[in-house]
Amino acid sequence: MNNRYELNKNLAQMLKGGVIMDVTTAEQARIAEDAGACAVMALERIPADIRSAGGVSRMSDPKMIKTIQEAVSIPVMAKVRIGHFAEAQILQAIEIDYIDESEVLSPADDTFHIDKTQFDVPFVCGAKDLGEALRRISEGAAMIRTKGEPGTGDVVQAVRHMRLINQQLRTIQNTREDELFQVAKDLQVPYDLVKFVHETGKLPVVNFAAGGIATPADAALMMQLGAEGVFVGSGIFKSGNPAKRAQAIVKAVTNFNDPKLLAALSEDLGEAMVGINEQEIELLMAQRGI
């Protein structure tokens, strides 16, 4: 891979231990930055509202993204539909810091993801198992996040995805070297990436938790399960006191191993987003793009 790809992986390294927050306006972006977000995700509707509105969900208006770029000094990310490389070209043209090729939006291609190696800006992609994660990385993703189930406030799927990815990493690390070829075949991923996992026990890029994280305890749970940071989408601006909740989640990610501090952070946060359980959802976004 080229130097650009290294620089793009490096930016994800700088985001580690941080919280990336979904914002829909410049005002929300400033609240997020003041609360300690390490980056913001600019989108017209947060996942919970995409769910309730239904219909086709697309890349946000570049003008709206630009107002957010002007409002904050931290990195600004934005989403494109799976496979929609023209949307990605547009975001690159407005110098976005990170593109999220996201299952939260309606997929534009039900077979092919974007060839991310053709872009200079970095991409983050969702994954629910190691095969998906490594396929996205081979397509050029510089950062991975769990898919979770966006817009639900239900953390169960993010937990499932993070545990599965880490279990699979451990398994490959302990696999005999002459069996790695078969592992690559089973996972439908390049052998070189399997070899890397075997040698290091890690993904070659940073891995964040995303989808359904709504409380400081959720964030701490994901960090203890091995996430290197978290995305919080609907959980903040769908709650009673966004600024306070945002700050509490930021501190919970830094001190995820300190239950006393987590207890203090969890006090008086006001109402959490209502949330919907996995069984109650009609649309499982995590099943988009494999």
Interface residue list for other proteins (CB under 8 A)? 3, 6-8, 10-11, 13-18, 33-34, 36-39, 69, 73-75, 92, 95-98, 120-122, 247, 250-251, 253-255, 258, 261
Nearer to other proteins, 95 or 186 (CB): 95
Minimum distance of other proteins from residue 13's CB (angstroms): 5
Nearer to other proteins, 3 or 111 (CB): 3
Q: Is 45 annotated as a binding residue?
A: no
Q: To which H or E segment does residue 249 belong? A: helix 242-254
Nearer to other proteins, 195 or 202 (CB): 202
Contacts of 52 by beta carbon, 8 Å cutoff, 6+ apart: none
Is-catalytic flag, 79? Answer: yes
Contacts of 177 by beta carbon, 8 Å cutoff, 6+ apart: 198
Minimum distance of other proteins from residue 74's CB (angstroms): 5
Q: Is 275 annotated as a binding residue?
A: no
The rounded distance, in Å, linking the Cα atoms of 140 and 86 is 16
Minimum distance of other proteins from residue 96's CB (angstroms): 8
Burial 243-282 (b: 16+ CB within 10 A, else e): ebbbbbbbbbbeebeeeebbeebeeebeeebebbeeeeee
Active-site option among 9, 16, 66, 79: 79
Q: Is 136 annotated as a binding residue?
A: no
Q: Is 17 annotated as a binding residue?
A: no
First to last CA, the chain: 23
Q: Is 140 annotated as a binding residue?
A: no
Minimum distance of other proteins from residue 125's CB (angstroms): 17
Nearer to other proteins, 171 or 257 (CB): 257
Nearest to 103 by CA among 145, 64, 139: 145
Query: Please, which residues bridge with residue 231 across strands?
Result: 20
Tokens representing residue 234 in the block? 């609907």
Binding residues for D-glyceraldehyde 3-phosphate: 163
Report, as residue numbers or ranges, the catalytic residues. Answer: 79
